[in-house]
Amino acid sequence: MDRQYLITGGAGFIGSNYVHRLLQRGGKVTIYDNLSRAGAPRNLEWLKREFGDKAFDVIVGDVRDADRITEAGRGADVIVHLAGQVAVTTSVINPRDDFESNAIGTFNVMEAARLSGKNPIVIYASTNKVYGGMDDVELFEEPTRWRYKDLVNGCPETQPLDFHSPYGCSKGTGDQYVRDYARMYDLPTVVFRQSCIYGPRQFGIEDQGWVAWFIIAAVMGRPITIYGDGKQVRDILHVDDLMNAYDLAVEKIDVARGKVYNLGGGPDNVMSVWAEFGPKLERYIDSAIEVARGDWRPGDQRVFYADVSKAEKELGWKPKINVEEGVQKLFEWVQENKNLF
């Protein structure tokens, strides 16, 4: 089937990578993006260089604009909703903007899907932050990392929701709306609760995209601040593996519709943010890295890694790019593209 894709946030890190993949296949794509992120214009230029101006459509718009997103959604067979406010720290500083971008923005996207008359597949990029601090889960401290004491496979989808931070609340609101629109309106929706996604075209900053940010800062000689003890553990997932999951959700929508899946590197692809990543980076650049230290930031979990067995069992998906390979690839991309930073 020759599907028409609408990618909200399509000029962002994940969005531009997925648009690139779809266009390589000869797909029909409309990007919907307000171009507010610093890397968005650069990603658009990259896509135009790769495929030409006429290979895809661009609508410069905000998901908070209900009329505009409704109009954009009319012809879509698949909507991949990636747009929104992306940083916990920013949400704490400006919770209203975060709520409007993520909660109201997602509601507008769901209404656009419902009113389109085409019953489009909707894939929503949710977040592991919907699980909050997981205070009921016992932790164990090791020399270079924290880990779960009993959750050997990581956090499952059955872990109680505990929206923490304005960002967790706004993304969690969207998460539940997308899930419920499958129940109430029979829309084929899929919620992916994503862990730390990394890869090329990620213009990471201190508040968001930490894997890319640390690599960019190390390569460009920029100051790095480590918040907390640096032993916080995350499962990291390469963007190529994430896009494989998007493809499988569309391909297997009869299985996936109305479902929620954790998508992360899982227990095999974990790394502590500095106690383990720092030495790795120092090897890459062959130099010691001086860092400043700061207090724990609000909403910063000591540990998160996802149990991804549901996605493996139901969709046949699992990460293929391990930490070593993925981080090396991103480091090489940053080295080769210093002019972008």
249 φψ region: left (φ > 0), alpha (ψ -120 to 50), beta (else): alpha
Q: Contact at 8 Å (CB) between 281 and 132?
A: no
Between CA 336 and CA 316 the distance in angstroms is 34
Q: Running DSSP on this structure, what letter comes out for residue 296?
A: P
Between CA 24 and CA 19 the distance in angstroms is 8
CA-nearest of 193, 200, 319, 174 to 263 is 193
Q: Running DSSP on this structure, what letter comes out for residue 177?
A: H
Spot the catalytic one: 18, 148, 167, 305.
167
* Beta pairing, strands 270-272 & 233-238: antiparallel
Distance of CA 316 to the CA centre of its chain: 20
Q: Contact at 8 Å (CB) between 224 and 214?
A: yes
3-state secondary structure of 84: coil
Between CA 23 and CA 284 the distance in angstroms is 33
* Beta pairing, strands 4-8 & 139-141: unpaired
Between CA 291 and CA 189 the distance in angstroms is 43
Between CA 231 and CA 184 the distance in angstroms is 43
Q: Which two tokens stand for residue 86?
A: 């992306």
Q: Which two tokens stand for residue 108?
A: 């507008």
Catalytic-residue membership of 167: yes
- Distances, alpha carbon 247 to alpha carbons 5, 10, 22, 78, 168, in Å: 12, 16, 10, 11, 26
- Catalytic site residues? 167
